[in-house]
Structure 1
Amino acid sequence: MRARLTPLLLAGGLACFGTAAQASESASAVVTIRVNNPAPTCRLEVPAEYYLGQLTTGPATQQKRHAPFAVKWFCDNPVRSGLKATLVKGYLRPAQDQLEMVSGGVPNGTLLWLEEEDNRKIKLSGSENDAFCVGQMAELHRECTLTPVTEVHASDRKGLVEAAIRFDVVYLL
């Protein structure tokens, strides 16, 4: 579009008025905007192995709270974060907050779950929607204490039982 501007000097300023104009062409432009927005990086510290000790069976179901362990994470930049847990070895129960431990790769009946400090069971689904130990503000360092709880039944297979759980940091908005 072409237009002719006629400047007019006023006291204290300059004003421009356009004369009659007609649009004869359209113009467009594409602007590419790039931003470097690096993903937060956090390092996770969790015990490589945790021994529950001797589990006892009796005529009735035996529930036992074990000593807690800490999961710590350290981030390069302050970030609001939490954790998610994914079952690696064992069998997840339908509510996804308990697992059945295995002996020789076969479920043996012994149940295990992890509780946060407020005694709530954490989900073992691996979903970010089930994040736990969620911080309320951006931080460089966080720590979460989890308590393993087992439930042993008289009918459970005897022997060495195990399970494996993977923890991942979840970055929240």
Structure 2
Amino acid sequence: MPRYARGMTPEDIARLTYLRKARDLIDREYAKPLDVPTMASHAFMSPAHFSRQFRAAYGETPYNYLMTRRIERAMALLRGGMSVTDACMEVGCTSLGSFSSRFTELVGVPPSTYRAREHLAVAAMPACVAKIRTRPSRNEASKRLEALAVGAD
């Protein structure tokens, strides 16, 4: 049986294609109610299998990916002056407390603090560059929080 790029079989490529369709659904429909069974149905997989395969392919669970997309969009709305509550609801979150906790975890500051900051550099960037430069990262937020904890000693 022939092997493809990096030792991938046709089945591996098909699996990644289905996972990409589910990821595209999340990117497109982040503000709508999405759950793992709905995402899994777009990848033609059971929810448990989908979650394992998604994490293996993209390095995070489908739910974490969805929340990162929501926070990313909320950051743009907050930079534009929208209230924290309105941004929370606009991106599909139903709990302001959970939204604020996840926002703080990913961005390193609460949404109200982020909204109050000046974002002149981001405003001067082309939108495609701003999207990449402001994308929240779980790893970067962990490093910032660790640095704050070390500085507090």
TM-score where L is the length of structure 2:
0.25
TM-score where L is the length of structure 1:
0.23
CA radius of gyration, larger in: 1
